[in-house]
Amino acid sequence: MCGIVGYIGKDASSQILLDALRRLEYRGYDSAGIAVISEKRKLQVRKIKGRLSNLELLVQQKPVTGSCGIGHTRWATHGEPSDLNSHPHTDVSQSIAVVHNGIIENHEELRAWLEKHHVDFVSQTDSEVIAHLIDFHYNGDLLLAVRETIKRLDGSYAIAVVCEEQPDLLVVARKDSPLVIGRCDDATLIASDVPPLLSHTKKVQYLNDLEIAVLTKDDVKIYNLDGDEIKRDIETIEWNMEAAEKCGYEHFMLKEICEQPKALGDTLRHKLDKQGNLVFPQDIETMIKGAKHLLITGCGTAYHAAMVASYVIEQVASVPVEVVIASELRYKTHIRKEDEICILISQSGETADTIATLRMLKSLGIPTLAITNVVGCTLSREADKVMYTQAGPEIAVASTKAFTTQLLSLFTIAALLAKAEQSALLDALKNLPGQAQLLLDRLEDIQRFAANQFNKTKVFFMGRLVDYAISLESALKLKEISYTHSEAFAAGELKHGPIALVDTSTLVVALCTQPALYTKMDSNIKEVKARGATALVITFEEVHTFDHTADMIFRIPKTHPLFSPILSVIVSQLYAYYCSVQKGNDPDKPRNLAKSVTVE
């Protein structure tokens, strides 16, 4: 969950590395550091606890020179955030420096072995062993030393290495952690993700697991563990710089919430032909239509998308759908069903549990379809088939536009499988981007509501069917960025226990978009109000069932009730965002969290 960057070229590298780290800060922000080799072949390391601004200040006070360097922004796993635990880590003579994203599972064993060979460790991290092992294997050939080192590592890693003796080289390697190489005319860069590369180039190469690349300013050579050279195509990224910048918004999260009409429109366009008919690539259509059982999985927000999809697909297509959280599915006994396929959902396509699940399913022979937002990510390369959401880069830690575009992609699958009403469903889907915009035009209403309610200590979301899935997603969003204790309940379950928690300090948000269940929801709202709670209802325009029960009603444009999640969740996203801002938090970088969970 850390971010790593590297640069080798003709320009001074320190500012380039700092700018690149700024674009990766969403991956971790406990500490940051850079290591640069000077013209006089001296390794200069600057690293410090805290946000990137601390490192920028440190580099201003103690500048570094040189045009080959690496950088790191950390989300701590092994060892508290501190100057010493920050990356880059060096060997004892401080001539080799390494940045690492991932977890070295056998680090204790390696540490003990290195200590026996008289290595003194300075940090508590698992990563430091990598620097000492490279030094141990180094005999004038950095590529060889890195290759021998990674043969001894268990776990996950993306690493970048520089060495005083070979100032014209940057060596990188990966296994189960992302790493992208950016190709320019007179420089080569690496990063954990695409955004830091965009201001330099759109030409990229991806490393596969257990590959090592040797980078010079004008060349890249990729090798496998046996030392054989591998040819890899250069690909072109379609995102532009603007997509990875705040563009005048106070936070990435608000920008990404507001980008949803475009992201939804772009995602849908990729599924329609010129006449506006639904069109899937033939192989994916055959795979989906041939399935008698669907298994859908993902983590966190992506799992909530899977949950919504299960209600929608079962209702419109009568295909049985099983939904399991990826971090559970990978460990449980999965009984393979007849003609079963699995859809794996992941914004980043790098989530460790989702990728481990994919590999487990493939070993069972279950065909896999990935839904992801990142071209070239691990999930897209390992799944049998892939469908991309067109959300553009999602930088804020809390997922927003990735979620609604995942939903839209899943809804197109439902429409493809629909037994009836396909054109009505398609019309409803086509209206969603515009309806999302209508909702966003009223964002001040939610901002005002958050300004009055942000200091509520307990916020419960409740709903039935798809509204229950969106209750879970709404509670997750609120807790992760506002740190408010929020929970979600299937509304019918309230009286089986959770209602004991309801008192006058509770805000209950009732999602009410299922017409057949309006009166049931109205009873649930009355129950919580009778215990002193304040009730906000989210329902469609022109619904008056709740006029005399709710303290406040927020109305969303009328759509097919199964597709309401795309609209109702935008209300929750905005509510969570404004509560976070009211509390003085940084919604883009919530405490203890990082985007792209590449550890288990």
Known catalytic residues are 2, 595
**Binding flag, residue 302, ligand F6R (CB under 6 A):** yes
Name the residue nearer to ligand F6R (CB basis): 539 or 598.
598
**String of DSSP letters for 38-103:** -TTS-EEEEEEES-HHHHHHHHHHS----SEEEEEEE--SSS-S-TTTSSPEE-TTS-EEEEEEEE
Phi and psi at residue 388, to the nearest 5°: -95, 135
Minimum separation from the CB atom of position 587 to ligand F6R (A): 11
**String of DSSP letters for 194-252:** SGGGTTT-SEEEEPPTTEEEEEETTEEEEE-TTS-EE----EE----GGGGS-TT-SSH
Dist. CA 142–CA 437, nearest whole Å: 54
Minimum separation from the CB atom of position 302 to ligand F6R (A): 4
> What is the number of the residue whose Cβ is closest to ligand F6R?
300
- 154-183 positions binding ligand F6R, by CB under 6 A: none
**Binding flag, residue 472, ligand F6R (CB under 6 A):** no
Dist. CA 158–CA 208, nearest whole Å: 11
Residue labelled with tokens 């977890």: 103
Name the residue nearer to ligand F6R (CB basis): 90 or 301.
301
How many residues of this chain bind ligand F6R (CB under 6 A)? 15
- 374-413 positions binding ligand F6R, by CB under 6 A: 398-399
Minimum separation from the CB atom of position 349 to ligand F6R (A): 7
CA angle 556/557/560 to nearest 5° reads 105
Name the residue nearer to ligand F6R (CB basis): 348 or 484.
348
Name the residue nearer to ligand F6R (CB basis): 372 or 514.
372
**String of DSSP letters for 93-139:** TS-EEEEEEEEETTHHHHHHHHHHTTPPP-SS-STHHHHHHHHHH-S
Residue labelled with tokens 């092994």: 78
Minimum separation from the CB atom of position 354 to ligand F6R (A): 5
Residues 441 and 469: beta-carbon distance below 8 Å: no
From 57-65, 76-84, 297-305, 573-581, span contacting ligand F6R (CB under 6 A): 297-305
Dist. CA 369–CA 143, nearest whole Å: 36
Question: Does residue 356 sit in helix, strand or coil?
Answer: helix
Minimum separation from the CB atom of position 265 to ligand F6R (A): 21
Name the residue nearer to ligand F6R (CB basis): 432 or 597.
597
Which of 300, 393, 433, 463 touches ligand F6R (CB under 6 A)? 300
From 110-118, 132-140, 161-169, 340-348, span contacting ligand F6R (CB under 6 A): 340-348
**Binding flag, residue 329, ligand F6R (CB under 6 A):** no
Which of 90, 205, 297, 354 touches ligand F6R (CB under 6 A)? 354
Supply 162's token pair.
């520089």
Residue 577: CB partners within 8 Å, gap ≥ 6? 251, 253, 254, 257, 481, 587
Strands 211-216 and 170-175: antiparallel
Which of 194, 597, 598, 599 touches ligand F6R (CB under 6 A)? 597
Supply 124's token pair.
């508590």
Q: Pick from 366, 358, 252, 340: which is nearest to 299 by CA?
A: 358
Minimum separation from the CB atom of position 582 to ligand F6R (A): 19
Minimum separation from the CB atom of position 18 to ligand F6R (A): 26
Which of 67, 73, 192, 346 touches ligand F6R (CB under 6 A)? 346
**Binding flag, residue 299, ligand F6R (CB under 6 A):** yes
Residues 393 and 239: beta-carbon distance below 8 Å: yes
From 197-205, 295-303, 413-421, 446-454, span contacting ligand F6R (CB under 6 A): 295-303
Minimum separation from the CB atom of position 597 to ligand F6R (A): 5
Cis status of the peptide bond prior to 88, with omega within 30 of 0: yes
Which of 301, 368, 390, 568 touches ligand F6R (CB under 6 A)? 301
Q: Which residues bind ligand F6R (CB under 6 A)?
A: 299-302, 346-348, 351, 354, 398-399, 476, 480, 596-597
